[in-house]
Amino acid sequence: MSVLDDLLLFTALASVAIIVLRRFAFISKFSVVVYVLATVLLIKMSALGYGGEAVYSSFTVNVLGQVLQWRFDALSWFFALITLVVALFTALFMSGAWGDKYRKEHSKEAYGLLQVALILNVLSMLVLLASGDLLSLFIGWELVSWASFMMMALNPDKVARKAAIKYIVYAMAGAMAILMAIAMTYNMTGSLDYVQVMQGMAQLNNSQIAVLVSLYAIGFGIKMGVIPFHLWQATAYAETPGAGAVFMGAISARMGLYALILVIVQIIGLTRVAAIEIPYTFLDMQNALAWVGALTTIIPTYIALKQNDARYLLAWHGVGQGGYMLLGVMIADSIGTAGGIMHVFNYATYQAALFMTVTAVIYRTGTSNFSKLGGLVTQMPLTFMVMVVSIIGLAGIPPMNGFVSKWLIYRALLLDGQPLLFVAAVIGTLGTILSVYKLVHNTFLGQLRLEHQDVREAPLSMLIPMLGLAIIIFATGVMPGVVLDWVAAAQIAIGIAPVEHNLGGIELVQGGLNMIWVTGVMFYGFAVGAIIFYFLGGKSKHIHQYDNYAGGHFLTSKVRYHYSNHFYAGLMHLIGGWYRNIFIKLEYALVSLVSFMSQLSENFYRSSQPAMLVAAIVMLALWYIMSADGSAPVLVQGLQGGMSK
């Protein structure tokens, strides 16, 4: 038995145990123990993170002459580490006061189901990450989809249910695309095993690769929520019950990125992807994917800017940050890929922390609506601190970890000579800064509402995971080398030159980055600032918020003296007109098309002579395919090519 067997078996058994024991009060402590043990098991494989050999499971299944197998390589290990750490923090977060309140507000059963959904999600993600061939990948994929669906469907709210249904429809469509792609891959290369497929890919022509890449990209991209498949994600994640949102928001969608890296970068290879020219454009397929990534950073980020609810704002950011990862990976050099992969880790830490802070605010005040919050900093200072640390990370400002991964991506774009992508990435970052300030201002700063005067700090059970994550965000920001080690190992695993790094960042002849120095100097600066502030000036007195400049008027509690709605009104006068909901319209069009088609087919079967009509249509189709010459659409060519093998 390998360690991987232990891990998977342990998680599976733990899932069964949690399902059985879900109604007991000790379930929350129990689940924490489970994740701790699972993490320990994972750490036993930590050699993977430093360039160790892949760990194979001893358990295999034979299907259709294919051996289904499971294995962990450096990339899987990296993702699994993030998954388990986030799950651990989530379990810790929901084990205490939050869980009690959730039990009270809903039911013991509901809380138990949340725990079940969490462990099932973890299990299915581990299975997915451990997949050793395309079929097991697909199995893992389906498991993840349904586990996520379960998590989302736990919220009985109408909006949440609708979002969950929407998600599963999207996920099924994506699964179909993946299944089709896997079938075609099998057809073309005769195997499902990664190594064999990789070899088989070399013999395929460009159009076949193009079809495969498109299908895989669509299938995995739907899970990641890349443009134009981004519509399901934000609502679904935002409406997931508090702690669930922490987990889902932080890591769930990244499974799509994992599969994408695995299939497109590792198996197909970006050089092949880059060789495919897209007709009528200047782009090749790799560039096109990079642009998809860039647009995914911009559009959801600016949608986030318009949100008036903290959870939605964060969830939209989750979509947007996925774009950076895709962009980084698609730059295809060692720095860019490192940035993309590292961003997964960084993102998971601060997104989890942010969702936790927002959940803590909801726990204390009962709302995450910006119009009903404000001024909570005096009441919840530690939560505020965690949020500030995390938003600095999210905005990619030194010295937090988000800066490092974004720096790597920028640097790669610079070296690659991609001005437009660079600008797109910067636009995304600036949009992020704007919206995170809106988040922190409207929740914690400004005027404290009267009904929140007695709000207390979040309970300890919620604070500990939040503070733990904040420490991780800062520590990996100062010493990005820790994470870069793992990233480099993952890069080797997917066949890309590892990034050359040291503890403080990377060394480059044309200007590197050393976060230890940067942080040191920044803290030196803050120290100077503090000396100037505290020793050169006199003492100051804290005053009440009504003792405030109001043009000479007296402020009273009747006056709402807090700017929160339409926070970037000036900007919105310019770009407000650009929010045309074009994707939502597209989605509607698609929905109505599908319902029209189904109506049509329904009528068709009710018509008088269905058999004759079927025959006629088949004849027509056959005639069309026979008469098709070289100018037939790419898809048909690809199919033909696949069939001729």
Partner 1 sequence: MTSVTELLAELLLMPFIAFVVGLAMVLMYRKIAARLQRRIGPPLLQPIYDIVKLYGKETQISHGLIHDIGLVMAVGGYVAAEIFLPVPGMDGIADKGGIITLSYVLMVPSLGLALGVGQCANPNGSIGISRALTAMLAYDIPFIIVVFGVATHYQSTSLVGMIEYQQIHQWGIFEMPLLAVAGLFALQGMMGKQPFEIYVAPAEIATGPMVEMSGKYMGGLFVMQTFQLYTAGVLYTSLFLGGGANWFEFLVKIFIVVAIPMSVALVFPRYRTEDMVRIMWKWPVMVALIGIAFVL
Partner 2 sequence: MRPENYQVVSLPNSDEYELFIGPNHPGIEGNYAFKLKLDGDRVISGKADAGYLHRGFEKLMEGRLWIQNLAIVPRICVPDPVPMEVVYSLTVEDIEKTEVPLRAQWIRVMQLELSRIASHLFTFGGHAATTGMYTPSYWGVADRDLALDLFEELTGGRVYHIYNIPGGVRRDIPNGFLDRLSDYLDYLQTRQNDYDNLLFTNQVFVKRARDIGVLNQEQALEWGVTGPNLRATGLAFDVRRDDPYLIYEQLDFDIPVQSAGDCLSRILVRRDELFQSVRILRQIIKHLPSVKGPVRSPIPNPLAWNVAKGESYCRVESSKGELAYYTVSDGGDKPYRVHVRGASSMHAVQVLENMSVGQRIEDVAQIMFSLDACPPEVDR
Partner 3 sequence: MSKIGNIPVNAQNGKKRTNPLAGVFDELVQFCQSRSMFMLHYCTGCGAIELPPAMTSRFDMERLGIQPMVTPRQADILLITGYVSVKTLKRVILTYEQMQSPKYVIGICSCTVNGGMYWQSYATAKVLNEYLPVDVYIAGCMPRPEAVIEGLRRLMGNIENGKGIAWKDYFQRYDHYLGNQQHLFGNDWQTPTDIIGEARHYGLETEQTCGEHSRILEQHQQPLEPYKMRIKL
Contacts (CB under 8 A) with partner 1, residues 433-452: 433-434, 437-438, 440-441, 444-448
Other CB atoms within 10 Å distance of the CB of residue 156: 10
433 binds, among partner 1, partner 2, partner 3, none (CB under 5 to 8 A by kind): partner 1
Pairing of strands 501-502, 66-72: unpaired
460 binds, among partner 3, partner 1, partner 2, none (CB under 5 to 8 A by kind): partner 3
If one asks whether residue 499 binds partner 1 (CB under 8 A), the answer comes out as no
Count of residues near partner 1 by CB under 8 A: 79
Write the DSSP string, 474-485.
HHHHH-THHHHH
If one asks whether residue 524 binds partner 1 (CB under 8 A), the answer comes out as yes
Residue tagged 């720095």 (tokens) = 335
* CA-based torsion, 269, 499, 3, 144: positive or negative: negative
| Amino acid identity at 635 | L
If one asks whether residue 579 binds partner 2 (CB under 8 A), the answer comes out as no
Q: For residue 220, which of 299, 338, 353, 330 has the smallest C-alpha distance?
A: 330
H/E element, 66: strand 66-72
Can you tell me the distance from the alpha carbon of 484 to that of 491, in angstroms, rounded to the nearest whole number? 10
- Pick the binder of partner 2 from 16, 559, 575, 614 (CB under 8 A): 559
Can you tell me the distance from the alpha carbon of 619 to that of 636, in angstroms, rounded to the nearest whole number? 17
Helix, coil or strand: residue 58:
strand
- Pick the binder of partner 2 from 9, 382, 555, 639 (CB under 8 A): 555
Please state the length of the chain: 645
If one asks whether residue 511 binds partner 2 (CB under 8 A), the answer comes out as no
Can you tell me the distance from the alpha carbon of 195 to that of 173, in angstroms, rounded to the nearest whole number? 27
Q: Restricting to residues 543-562, name those near partner 1 by CB under 8 A.
A: 543, 545, 547-551, 561-562
Can you tell me the distance from the alpha carbon of 484 to that of 438, in angstroms, rounded to the nearest whole number? 31
If one asks whether residue 324 binds partner 1 (CB under 8 A), the answer comes out as no
417 binds, among partner 3, partner 1, partner 2, none (CB under 5 to 8 A by kind): partner 1
Q: CB neighbours of 420 closer than 8 A, spacing ≥ 6?
A: none
372 binds, among partner 3, partner 1, partner 2, none (CB under 5 to 8 A by kind): partner 2
Bin 31: left if φ > 0, else alpha if -120 < ψ < 50, else beta.
Answer: alpha
Count of residues near partner 2 by CB under 8 A: 28
- Pick the binder of partner 1 from 85, 113, 373, 397 (CB under 8 A): 397
Other CB atoms within 10 Å distance of the CB of residue 36: 14
If one asks whether residue 382 binds partner 1 (CB under 8 A), the answer comes out as no
If one asks whether residue 398 binds partner 1 (CB under 8 A), the answer comes out as yes
If one asks whether residue 279 binds partner 1 (CB under 8 A), the answer comes out as no
If one asks whether residue 233 binds partner 2 (CB under 8 A), the answer comes out as no
If one asks whether residue 29 binds partner 2 (CB under 8 A), the answer comes out as no
The DSSP output letter for 282 is S
Other CB atoms within 10 Å distance of the CB of residue 575: 13
Applying CB under 8 A, the residues found at the interface with partner 3 are 375, 377-379, 381-382, 448, 453, 456-460, 463, 539, 541-549, 552-555
Shortest approach of partner 1 to residue 337 CB, angstroms? 18
If one asks whether residue 630 binds partner 1 (CB under 8 A), the answer comes out as no
Q: Which two tokens stand for residue 28?
A: 């929350």
If one asks whether residue 567 binds partner 1 (CB under 8 A), the answer comes out as yes
Window contacting partner 2 (CB under 8 A); options: 64-72, 147-155, 222-230, 560-568: 560-568
Window contacting partner 2 (CB under 8 A); options: 150-158, 410-418, 422-430, 546-554: 546-554
Residue 71: φ, ψ to 5°: -155, 160
449 binds, among partner 3, partner 1, partner 2, none (CB under 5 to 8 A by kind): partner 2
> Torsion angle of alpha carbons 169, 172, 176, 181, nearest 10°?
120
Q: CB neighbours of 568 closer than 8 A, spacing ≥ 6?
A: 305, 434, 438
457 binds, among partner 2, partner 3, partner 1, none (CB under 5 to 8 A by kind): partner 3
**Whose Cβ is closer to partner 2: residue 538's or residue 570's?**
570
Shortest approach of partner 3 to residue 547 CB, angstroms? 4
If one asks whether residue 371 binds partner 2 (CB under 8 A), the answer comes out as yes
Shortest approach of partner 2 to residue 574 CB, angstroms? 13
**Whose Cβ is closer to partner 1: residue 560's or residue 585's?**
560
If one asks whether residue 451 binds partner 2 (CB under 8 A), the answer comes out as yes
**Whose Cβ is closer to partner 3: residue 34's or residue 440's?**
440
**Whose Cβ is closer to partner 2: residue 371's or residue 581's?**
371
Shortest approach of partner 3 to residue 535 CB, angstroms? 12
| Amino acid identity at 83 | T
**Residue 475, beta-bridge partner list:** none
Shortest approach of partner 2 to residue 545 CB, angstroms? 10
Q: For residue 349, which of 392, 413, 401 has the smallest C-alpha distance?
A: 401
Q: Which two tokens stand for residue 75?
A: 């990339």
- Pick the binder of partner 1 from 1, 271, 456, 541 (CB under 8 A): 541
Q: For residue 391, which of 480, 465, 310 has the smallest C-alpha distance?
A: 310
Q: Restricting to residues 190-219, name those near partner 2 by CB under 8 A.
A: none
- Pick the binder of partner 1 from 271, 510, 607, 627 (CB under 8 A): 510
Can you tell me the distance from the alpha carbon of 260 to that of 290, in angstroms, rounded to the nearest whole number? 13
Give me the half-sphere count of Cα atoms (radius 13 Å) on the Cβ side of residue 640.
13
Is the previous residue joined to 228 through a cis bond, with omega within 30 degrees of 0?
yes
Shortest approach of partner 1 to residue 160 CB, angstroms? 31
459 binds, among partner 3, partner 1, partner 2, none (CB under 5 to 8 A by kind): partner 3
Residue 509: φ, ψ to 5°: -65, -40
Residues that bind partner 2 (CB under 8 A): 371-372, 449-451, 544, 546, 550-567, 569-570, 572
